[in-house]
Amino acid sequence: MSFSSKKKERVKPRFLPDALQRGAISWHVVLDDSGQAALVDCYLGISTDTLVLIEERTREIVFVMPCKAILGWSVQTNRYEVINLENSETAV
């Protein structure tokens, strides 16, 4: 009997560049705040897992949603609407 062992190959973890990235792609947008009947200058940021609207003047988060909650969007002339799981729409 032989007790020799085979050398096991190490399994290298798969490189996922998106999982290692920090930050977001961003645009300057104008948010139509129908609750206050006002137009708000914002930054729209989309990262690998989050969509966020940040008010330009105060730098406060106006709206945040996980990307997996986005069902779709509607594009009209100079207007985008994001539809999420709660069946609400956010107009940008």
Give the CATH number of the domain where residue 69 resides: 2.30.29.30
Number of domains making up the chain: 1
| pLDDT attached to residue 31 | 86
Considering the domain boundaries, does residue 34 fall inside one? yes
CB distance 56 to 28 below 8 Å: yes
| pLDDT attached to residue 69 | 86
Which domain range does residue 64 map to? 17-91
pLDDT top residue among 88 and 9: 9
Considering the domain boundaries, does residue 3 fall inside one? no
Considering the domain boundaries, does residue 11 fall inside one? no
Considering the domain boundaries, does residue 48 fall inside one? yes
Residue whose structure tokens are 């069946």: 87
| pLDDT attached to residue 72 | 84
pLDDT digits 0-9 by tens, 28-82: 999 887 777 888 899 999 988 888 999 999 999 988 888 888 888 888 877 777 7
| pLDDT attached to residue 14 | 72
